């Protein structure tokens, strides 16, 4: 499945149940109980948000840890950008979310692990939350 940036962001910033669930998902990924992929766009989104919420040094540390996880990293290339324009044209998703969807489609994924309900609007894509992921894989 594809993992959205908000899972990493909530794991780092949320002290409630949502953050706890996202940290558990990350543990399951690190233990290789869950196979995930994400695009390099996720790095940009995570470090940008974390820089503002936890500071630059912590954002860098968290992002480096994220990059060392057993995740399939998808490069953003011309194919993904062309598909992004198509997704953007046919949905109400913003361009960044359209890049995530196009990245998924290029590598043949149809499930996204995300707390962002906007992904529910994308045809052919199933969104599961961190809590649902834990129920399924824990």
Task: Report the alpha-carbon distance of residue 122 to residue 99 in Å, rounded.
Answer: 12
Q: What is the pTM of this model?
A: 0.95
CA dihedral 113, 114, 119, 125 (to 10 degrees): 0
Residue 88 backbone dihedrals phi, psi, to 5 degrees? -60, -40
Q: Residue 121 has what pLDDT?
A: 85
Which CATH entry fits the domain spanning 2-137: 3.40.50.1010, 3.40.470.10, 3.40.190.10, 2.60.200.30? 3.40.50.1010
Query: Domain map of the chain by residue range?
Result: 2-137
- 10-residue block means of pLDDT along the chain (138 residues)? 98 97 97 96 97 96 96 96 95 95 96 96 93 92
Please say whether the beta carbons of 11 and 20 come within 8 A: no
The count of residues in the chain is: 138
């Amino acid at each position: 499945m594809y993992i959205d940036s908000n899972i990493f962001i909530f794991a780092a910033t949320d002290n409630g149940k949502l953050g706890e669930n996202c940290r558990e998902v990350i543990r399951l990924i690190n233990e290789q109980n869950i196979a995930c992929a994400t695009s390099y766009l996720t790095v940009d989104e995570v470090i940008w948000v974390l820089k503002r919420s936890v500071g630059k040094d912590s954002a860098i540390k968290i992002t480096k840890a994220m990059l060392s996880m057993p995740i399939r990293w998808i490069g953003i290339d011309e194919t993904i950008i062309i598909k992004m324009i198509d997704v953007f044209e046919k949905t109400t998703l913003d361009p960044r979310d359209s890049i995530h969807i196009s990245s998924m489609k290029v590598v043949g994924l149809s499930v996204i692990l995300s707390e962002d309900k906007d992904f529910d609007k994308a045809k052919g894509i199933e969104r599961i939350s961190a809590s649902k992921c834990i129920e399924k894989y824990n």
